[in-house]
Amino acid sequence: MRMQKISKKLGANIKKIRTAKNMSQGDICRKLTMDRSYMSAIENGKKNITLAVLQKLAGALRVSASDLLK
């Protein structure tokens, strides 16, 4: 699978889980002290993230990192 396709799928999963938990991008960003434009780029598949950021996002969403990658 190409990296861009993986990034898009990851972003879509993050957004789906975040919205299912009634959380805004701002909610996540405040928890992680992350810039909202960066979060938007992640959700839109425009940024590749590190495993550390993946783990932080999973923690903020209260899911496992593997749930975000499904």
Q: What pTM does this model have?
A: 0.90
pLDDT category at 1 given cuts 50, 70, 90 is low
DSSP state of 47: -
Cα–Cα distance measured from residue 5 to residue 8, given in angstroms and rounded to the nearest whole number: 5
Give the model's pLDDT for residue 60.
95
